[in-house]
Amino acid sequence: MKITVFGSGYVGLVTAACLADSGNSVVCVDVDARRIETLNAGHCPFYEPGVDALLTRNTAAGRIRFTTDAVEGVAHGQIIFIAVGTPPQEDGSADLQYVLQVASTVGQYISDYRVVCTKSTVPVGTAKKVRAAVQAAIDARGAKFPFDVVSNPEFLKEGAAVEDFLRPDRIIVGTDSERALEQMRRLYAPFNRNHDRLMAMDIESAELTKYAANAMLATRISFMNELALLAEKVGADIESVRRGIGSDPRIGFSFLYAGCGYGGSCFPKDVKALVRTGREHDQTLGILTAVEAANDYQKTILFERLKAHLGSLQGKTIALWGLAFKPNTDDMREAPSRVLMEAIWAEGGRVQAYDPIAMEATRRIYGDRDDLQYFESAEDACRDADALVLVTEWAQFRSPDFARIKTLLRQPILLDGRNLYDSAHLAELGFRYQGIGRKAR
């Protein structure tokens, strides 16, 4: 099939690359000429395991190409995906200007039947706005062309996006058109062979499903984080509690890990947007308001514990392991590390940081500054630091040489923001260890 994807960001590029790899002819359109130049040179502009290999293979095979030419994009794709950004506005609502700009562009250049498919995460009612924008542009030309609008939300986890796309748990298609549904079934047939994962539903339900999924996962995280704080007060261990409740099949183990808060491009933005949607429809979403507040507080926990261990942070040096909001990505959006570093700097402290992937992304945010130094290894970041804080649970941090780490630190203080380590073992080695919801040693 001939596919066009507007937007070469995280969702758009993964979608384009995976669809090309299944044999489709894909054109990816973006207004950012420098990004298109980078992609045509064979380079992925962000880190996501597997994407580089897909781009190299499919560019060489001629199944994917990148352009700034919207006319070419609309002419090419029988299905046109809108996968542009929907950044949060000050009031928490999703900014739909880029989505609607693409919709208008499609209407300006459409010359035959097209399926216009929203892949971006958008609030309920967006498909109606997309339909109106396409139709308005067609009407302005004095023309008549048929088209359908489909909601096809993505459920990609950063760090595992390619696997999620190629082997989806579910494929949600919201449409009121049998013709469009048949096109979508054809497109997703290669990913749907084992059993039928495609769920057809009305457009509004599809749009709400995406927000509901992310809000549920964020709720589980904040729930466990609040329980972890209670566990500390009553002398319980949240890891034991996690295993106890996770073994109940009605609950399961996913997203039950206590830590220093969630971040990224999805959970924070989508929870805010869903709360805002509730307000617009005179429906208070009290649970999600609490989820957001609990997460904001959780991101301050590591800083408060540093102060409890060290007193004033003026002139102190803190080693940070992990900067990205989660492993296997360089995404720094809403990352807990940012809250921690900014608080340390405000108190006059310094940061010595190591992350396997996200140091360049961090440098783009903060630039070069005297109170932030990057190191080429986790051990080097610990040298002459007053405490070590684990923020992101990269695999390479799982089994460090603690005896060596202890000799590098000025004080054997280890704050574990992801409960990665055995508190009893670290106590035996002479560390002052503190996790989240664990008994302090």
Q: What angle do CA 220, 397, 320 make, to 5 degrees?
A: 85
Q: Which residues are catalytic?
A: 266
> What is the DSSP code string of 146-177?
-EEEEE----PPTTSHHHHHHS-S-EEEE-S-
Cα–Cα distance, 387 to 74 (Å, whole number): 55
Phi-psi region of 72 (alpha: psi -120 to 50; beta: other; left: phi over 0): alpha
Residue 142 has a CB neighbour count (10 Å cut-off) of 6
Cα–Cα distance, 432 to 426 (Å, whole number): 8
Q: Could you tell me if 210 and 170 are in contact, meaning their C-beta atoms sit under 8 angstroms apart?
A: no
- Look up residue 367 and give its amino acid: G
Cα–Cα distance, 84 to 35 (Å, whole number): 14
Alpha helix (H) residue ranges in 50-94: 51-60, 70-76
> What is the DSSP code string of 344-403?
HHHTT-EEEEE-SSTHHHHHHHH-SBTTEEE-SSHHHHHTT-SEEEE-S--GGGSS--HH
What b/e string do you get for 15-52 counting C-beta neighbours within 10 Å, with b at 16 or more? bbbbbbbbebbbbbbbbeeebbeebeeeebbbbbebbe
Phi, psi of 115, deg, nearest 5: -100, 120
Q: Could you tell me if 59 and 43 are in contact, meaning their C-beta atoms sit under 8 angstroms apart?
A: no
